Structures are given as C-alpha cells and as structure tokens.
Amino acid sequence: MTDVLSTATQPAASGRPSTPTFAVISGEQVQQALSGHEKELVELVEATYRLHGAGDSVNPPSYFLRFPDRPTARIIALPASIGGSVHVDGVKWISSFPENVRAGLPRASAVLILNDPVTGYPFACLESSIISATRTAASAALAADWLSRGRTRPSRVGFFGTGLIARYIHTFLAGTGWTFDAIGVHDVSADSAEGFSGYLRQAGAAGQVTVHDSAEDLVRSSDLVVFATVAGKPHVTDPAWFSHNPLVLHVSLRDLAPEVLLASANFVDDVEHCLKADTSPHLVEQRTGDRDFLNGTLNDVMLGRAAPPTDRPVIFSPFGLGVLDLAVGKYVYDEVSRAGDLRLIDDFFHDLRRYG
C-alpha cells in the first residue's frame, strides 16, 4: 500500500495534490507492530534524542489541562516535529486520571495525531497509551545502559510503583539484555505489588522476586531503582537511603525531595522541559536559584560531553519528549502500512474545493 505521506503530497494528473487520506490505527495494531522489537525501538529513541540534541526538531512546552473539581486528573498536549528520516509533525493528547485504577481501568489513555509535514494534513490517528509507555520504557532502558557505563553494572533492580509503565520498563530492560540477580517490588497498594510480582514470575523473570513492605528497604537493596508512581509531590526525602550510590530512573519525576537530588549527580532528557511544572528538578532550581546541580542531558552523555560519576547516586529524570512519541508512532504507522493493514476512513476530508 502506498505510504500516505507520499500520497498526500504527490500531484495528481490534473496538477492538483491528490485527496489526502486518513487512517485509524487501533491499540491492537500498535501492540502487534511494537511487540518483540525492544532493541530496535531503543535504537530509534537514541537516534531521536540525537536528532533533538542536534536541533533537528521542534518540541515546544507541553500544555496541561487541569480541573478545579478533579485535582488529581489532567490531560496533556505534547506537540512536536521531528526531522531526519522520520520527518513528521504531530501531537499526543494524553490523559492521566488516577481514579481510573479503582474502577479497573488504566490510569492513562491517549491518542497520537500524525501530520504530513508538506501539507499539514493529519494522516493518521493512533491509539497511543501503548506508544507512550513504549517510548518511556525505551528511554529508560537507553538511560540505564548509557548511565551505567563506567560504573559497576547493576545486578539488583527495584521497582517503586508497579503499574503499566513499570511493566513496560521491565520488558524493555529484559528485551535489551539486562538480567538481574534480584528484583524488588514496592507499591503503596499491596494488591498492585503482588500483581506485579506475579507478572514478573509468570514472565519468567530471572532472579528472585521480593515484595518490600518498606520503601527504604527497596531502595537500599537495589543498584538500579525505577520510580514509576503517580506521586504529585516528593515523598522520598532521606539522601541516606541512596548512600550505596545506585542508578535511579526517576521516570515519574516528582518522587524525590530536593535534598536527594542535591546529594546526587543529575541527568535529564531536556533541561527546559524538565525544570517546570514542579518536578523534583524544578523544585531544586526554585530552592537554589540556579541549575548548577544538573550534570547534563542524556544526549551529553551519549556525545561524551558528560559522564556519570561513581562516587554518588546517579539520577535520570526524563520529562518525556513529544518527539519520541512521533518517532515511535511513525514507526508503527510504517509497519502497519507495509503489512497492508491501514484502515483508511473514506471521505474523512470533505469539501476540499475552495469555491465549491
């Protein structure tokens, strides 16, 4: 099937552009396109970070829609544009409603719109909670690799927060060659912790799986700590918990008090994006009045401009960039298109003649 990107921009025989088409890609199709491709997707995320670092992207601030009557809920728009071989524009529209969990629904839901960079016409709408979890997990696995170079590679991993994101991060760590002697699990919900540990055992995870009742025990017993919670403000305040200098993937961004970050080496995905919206790094900037606590970005590490130390905890706090969603979404679109499974919506665009 012809790629919609080219179809939308090639002139017809009359000299006018052909009628743009629009595809809808379901969550099942997204999962089929991504499943089992962890190494390839981590490489894609690395390439996207490098493009972003080189300036071949547009990634404006995320826009937060909040609700006075629902203070724990939010919907976020992440517009972006990425160049290189991906070359696509678009926006992710992702909601976070933590109360969903009580009703048995995932906390987050999302769609991704891909736009043709020549005409501006949207050409696809993709279910994007899976894309969002995938790019988050691929970014975490990439950071774990680069930030553990020059240090003793972690052999004990601990998951603080045991939802869908934690599951995807474990999948991507395992899919990119990580093995652990021990896997620790902690969650404020005992049922969630038991459910996640059950998933780990069912998935055949190597290493002993231990559910920790104490957050401190989890942190102190882990060389690699993954924070994947829905915390809205810091709840881990004691730097002494990290005295063994672990590598910390601070994916949920608001778990750690400024004291913990100030006692550590800190890396982010994008400085301007990460230091806003009262993230833990933003709270440090507000307290100190400067950004001297930052050691650099992940791209700085990949380019050799910064290196993680061995004598302090190393914390990676990724805000999550819209360009990553675009890269993974375009990957899905291309896979579905190659398989001939695009579901085009006939006559989605209508009244295309300027004067009728």
Q: Encode pLDDT of 13-25 as tens digits.
A: 344 557 799 999 9
Query: What pLDDT, on the 0 to 100 scale, is given for residue 17?
Result: 57
Query: What pLDDT, on the 0 to 100 scale, is given for residue 5?
Result: 38
Distance of CA 19 to the CA centre of its chain: 34
Query: What pLDDT, on the 0 to 100 scale, is given for residue 205?
Result: 84
Query: What pLDDT, on the 0 to 100 scale, is given for residue 14?
Result: 41
In a domain, 347, yes or no: no
Same domain? 194 vs 92: no
Whether the Cβ atoms of residue 328 and residue 135 lie closer than 8 Å to each other? yes
In a domain, 353, yes or no: no
Number of domains in the chain: 2
Helix (H) or strand (E) holding 345, with range, is none
Q: Angle formed by the axes of helices 322-338 and 27-34, to 10°?
A: 90
In a domain, 356, yes or no: no
CATH code, domain carrying 230 = 3.40.50.720
Query: What pLDDT, on the 0 to 100 scale, is given for residue 251?
Result: 98
In a domain, 59, yes or no: yes
Q: Encode pLDDT of 79-104 as tens digits.
A: 999 999 999 999 999 999 989 988 98
In a domain, 346, yes or no: no
* Phi, psi of 225, deg, nearest 5: -115, 125
Domain that holds residue 137: 132-317
Half-sphere exposure of 355 toward its Cβ, with a 13 Å CA cutoff? 0
DSSP secondary structure string for all residues of 102-157: GGTS-SEEEEEEEE-TTT--EEEEEE-HHHHHHHHHHHHHHHHHHHHTTSPPP-EE
Intervals of the chain under pLDDT 70: 1-17
